[in-house]
């Protein structure tokens, strides 16, 4: 059957240069954006183009989550197509069009198996696009481990990292680690030299150690303020470093639980949206009813280790994070959008094909109403979720 171009017409388009109240977007037969613009200006006219009237609804660039462990009862560590496809579909139904499957600190053999399994399924899922892997751990600091396994923490190792890269078929795009540990700067330099984004995460680094890490190639922080040395007026720590060092882009779990709404507002004010990367850090029980799930408890959106000692990921989704950020900061939607579209695309090395409604990029987008409620999710021009 012949595939035709599709014109999404009469939409409020959120383009890189700003919103267009009555716009159109043409998606080609390969699922890429061919062109976009405002009605009343020159536009393609072709009798073979299929037209979809959006009725003034919003078309947002697809939301990108570079730090997500699971959701909807599915888990990256599940080591199966069912788990990855399930979380892909769950998050597509909540605004995500692209994600990095994120690991956690566990034993070396399990990490190798998970990396092999995940990388073999890229391009095969039915929901959000799996674009690579975020390796969180095992090269972290024990003091700042949070819910990560103490037993399986390892010192930074270039040799082990080479094994992980091989198992992942070189699909690792972000590595979270504690750069201040012995061997850490060597590993940072190795990863940065390969074009992989290195993130300071689960780290107890001082400001001076963070400066050394940035010099070696660290460009990102993992779930900022969480799992890191805190800001103190006599020792800014990793939290302070993320705020004052311009080279660093700061991840943000914008659920109002991990970071207070006023601190969310402060981070956006200090860093600017171009240096804030919103994530979910969602775990397998995200989207499920409150209750006990193995070693964690989900209650009112908060995920805790069952012993109550630490937050253990979140129950957040990307579209909820976007709505929260608008509410917490008071900034207009178009100012916040880059922090969950073009910024994560940049940090994951995906800017050539993801992150904005720009000609030549994948036609990944959301259709939303005036309250930012999701009506449909498209990945490469195909609907992967439509509200009934």
Whether 223 has a binding-site annotation, put simply, is: yes
Inter-residue contact 320 to 327 (CB < 8 Å): no
* Cα–Cα distance, 344 to 65 (Å, whole number): 7
Helix (H, G, I), strand (E, B) or coil at 377: strand
Query: Active-site residue among 129, 281, 362, 364?
Result: 281
Whether 227 has a binding-site annotation, put simply, is: yes
* Cα–Cα distance, 360 to 135 (Å, whole number): 29
Which pLDDT score, from 0 to 100, does residue 1 have?
46
Whether 345 has a binding-site annotation, put simply, is: no
Which pLDDT score, from 0 to 100, does residue 384 have?
98
Whether 39 has a binding-site annotation, put simply, is: no
Fold held by 6-60+356-386? Urease, subunit C; domain 1 (2.30.40)
| 352 labelled catalytic | no
* Cα–Cα distance, 326 to 82 (Å, whole number): 34
Question: 62-347 sits in which CATH class?
Answer: alpha beta
Whether 202 has a binding-site annotation, put simply, is: yes
User: Mean pLDDT in runs of 10 for the chain (388 residues)?
Assistant: 82 96 96 93 82 96 98 95 98 98 97 97 96 98 94 97 98 98 98 98 98 98 98 98 98 98 98 98 96 92 88 96 98 98 98 97 98 97 95
Peptide bond into 375 cis (omega under 30): no
Which pLDDT score, from 0 to 100, does residue 388 have?
84
Whether 258 has a binding-site annotation, put simply, is: yes
Which pLDDT score, from 0 to 100, does residue 3 have?
64
Give the pairing of strands 302-305 and 365-368.
unpaired
Q: Which residues contact 210 (CB under 8 A, 6 or more apart)?
A: 179, 180, 200, 218, 237, 238, 241, 242, 245
**What global pTM score does this model have?**
0.97
Residues of the chain with CATH 3.20.20.140: 62-347
Residues of the chain with CATH 2.30.40.10: 6-60+356-386
Whether 312 has a binding-site annotation, put simply, is: yes
Inter-residue contact 226 to 253 (CB < 8 Å): yes
């Amino acid at each position: 059957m012949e595939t035709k171009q599709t014109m999404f017409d009469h939409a409020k388009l959120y383009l890189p240069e700003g919103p267009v109240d009555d716009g159109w977007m043409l998606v080609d037969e390969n699922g890429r954006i061919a062109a976009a613009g405002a009605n009343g200006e020159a536009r393609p006219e072709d009798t073979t183009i299929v037209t979809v009237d959006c009725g003034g609804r919003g078309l947002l660039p697809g939301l990108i989550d570079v730090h997500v462990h699971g959701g909807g009862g599915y888990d990256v560590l599940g080591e199966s197509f069912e788990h990855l496809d399930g979380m892909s579909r769950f998050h597509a139904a909540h605004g995500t069009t692209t994600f990095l499957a994120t690991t956690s600190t566990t034993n070396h053999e399990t990490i190798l198996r998970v990396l092999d399994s995940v990388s073999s399924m890229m391009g095969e899922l039915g929901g959000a696009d799996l674009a690579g892997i975020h390796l969180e751990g095992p090269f972290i600091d024990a003091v700042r481990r949070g819910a990560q396994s103490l037993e399986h923490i390892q010192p930074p190792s270039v040799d082990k990292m080479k094994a992980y890269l091989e198992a992942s078929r070189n699909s690792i795009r972000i590595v979270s680690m504690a750069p201040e540990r012995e061997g850490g700067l060597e590993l940072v330099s190795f990863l940065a030299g390969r074009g992989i984004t290195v993130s300071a995460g689960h780290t107890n680094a001082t400001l001076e150690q963070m400066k050394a890490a940035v010099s070696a190639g660290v460009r990102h922080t993992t779930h900022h303020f969480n799992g890191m040395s805190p800001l103190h007026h006599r020792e800014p720590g990793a939290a302070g470093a993320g705020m004052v060092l311009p080279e660093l882009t700061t991840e943000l779990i914008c659920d109002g639980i991990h970071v207070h709404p006023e601190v969310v507002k402060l981070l956006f004010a200090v860093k600017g949206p171009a240096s804030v990367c919103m994530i979910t850090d969602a775990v397998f029980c995200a989207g499920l009813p409150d209750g006990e799930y193995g070693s964690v408890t989900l209650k009112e959106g908060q995920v805790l280790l069952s012993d109550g000692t630490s937050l253990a990921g979140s129950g957040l989704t990307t579209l909820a994070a976007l709505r929260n950020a608008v509410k917490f900061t008071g900034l207009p939607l178009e100012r916040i959008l880059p922090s969950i579209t073009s910024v994560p695309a940049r940090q994951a090395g995906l800017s050539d094909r993801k992150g904005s409604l720009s000609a030549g990029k994948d036609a990944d987008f959301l259709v939303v109403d005036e309250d930012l409620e999701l009506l449909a999710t498209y990945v490469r021009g195909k609907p992967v979720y439509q509200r009934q």
